[in-house]
Structure 1
Amino acid sequence: MSHPPSQPRTPVFAANWKMSHGPTETGAFVERFTARHSRRSDATVVIFPPAISLAAFAAAASDRPDLEFGVQDVHTELEGAHTSGISAAMVPATGATWALAGHSERRREFGDTDADVGRKLVRILEAGLRPVLCVGETLEERESGRLAAVLETQIREAIRPLDRESRAGLVYAYEPVWAIGTGRTASPADAAEAHAIVREQLARAEGCDAERTAILYGGSVKPANIEALLSGPGVDGVLVGGASLDPDSWAAICAAGG
Structure 2
Amino acid sequence: MRKNIVAGNWKMNMTYQDGLALVSEITNMVADETLGANVEVVIAPPAPFLHSIGKLLSEGGRIHLGAQNCHQKESGAFTGEVSAKQLQSVGVEYVILGHSERRQYFHEDDELLSQKLKAVLAAGLKPIFCIGESLETREADETFDFLAAQLKNGLFHLSNEEFDQVVIAYEPIWAIGTGKTATSEQAQEVHAFIREQIARAYDAEAAQNTTILYGGSANAQNARELFGQPDVDGGLIGGASLKSRDFTEIIKSF
| TM bracket, shorter-chain basis | over 0.9
Deviation at 1:168, TM superposition (A): 2.0
Partner of 1:224: 221
Partner of 1:97: 93
Deviation at 1:27, TM superposition (A): 1.1
The alignment status of 1:21 with 2:14, answered yes or no, reads yes
Deviates more, 1:163-172 or 1:236-245: 163-172
Identity of aligned residues (%): 38
Whether the 8 Å contact between 2:84 and 2:119 is mirrored in structure 1 is yes
Deviation at 1:210, TM superposition (A): 0.4
Whether the 8 Å contact between 2:70 and 2:116 is mirrored in structure 1 is yes
1:56 to 52, 67, 74: 52
Q: Which runs of 4+ in 1 moved over 2 A?
A: 59-62, 160-164
Deviation at 1:106, TM superposition (A): 0.4
Query: Residues 104-146 of structure 1, C-alpha deviation per residue, up to 9 Å, x if partnerless?
Result: 0000010000121111110000000011110000000011011
1:37 to 21, 27, 30: 30
2:77 to 48, 62, 81: 81
Partner of 2:247: 250
Query: Residues 7-55 of structure 1, C-alpha deviation per residue, up to 9 Å, x if partnerless?
Result: x312111100000123211210122112222352341001111101101
Whether the 8 Å contact between 1:230 and 1:236 is mirrored in structure 2 is yes
Separation of aligned partners in 1, 2:188 and 2:80: 37
Partner of 2:185: 189
Separation of aligned partners in 1, 2:57 and 2:197: 37
Separation of aligned partners in 2, 1:105 and 1:167: 23
Whether the 8 Å contact between 2:2 and 2:38 is mirrored in structure 1 is no
Partner of 1:4: none
The alignment status of 1:169 with 2:165, answered yes or no, reads yes
Separation of aligned partners in 2, 1:197 and 1:62: 36
Considering only aligned residues, what root-mean-square deviation do their CA atoms show, in Å?
1.4
Deviation at 1:255, TM superposition (A): 0.8
Deviates more, 1:208-217 or 1:55-64: 55-64
Give the count of matched residue pairs.
Answer: 250
Q: Unmatched 5+ residue regions in structure 1? A: 1-7
AA partner of residue 245 (structure 1): L
SS of the residue corresponding to residue 129 of structure 2 reads strand
Query: Residues 172-221 of structure 1, C-alpha deviation per residue, up to 9 Å, x if partnerless?
Result: 00000000000000000110111011111111113781011010001111
Deviation at 1:160, TM superposition (A): 4.5
The alignment status of 1:210 with 2:207, answered yes or no, reads yes
TM-score (norm 1): 0.93
SS of the residue corresponding to residue 35 of structure 1 reads helix
Deviation at 1:229, TM superposition (A): 0.7
Whether the 8 Å contact between 1:23 and 1:56 is mirrored in structure 2 is no
Deviation at 1:60, TM superposition (A): 2.3
Partner of 1:234: 231
Between structures 1 and 2, the one with greater helix share: 2
TM-score (norm 2): 0.94
1:137 to 125, 133, 139: 133
Whether the 8 Å contact between 2:172 and 2:215 is mirrored in structure 1 is yes
Separation of aligned partners in 2, 1:157 and 1:193: 21
SS of the residue corresponding to residue 8 of structure 2 reads strand
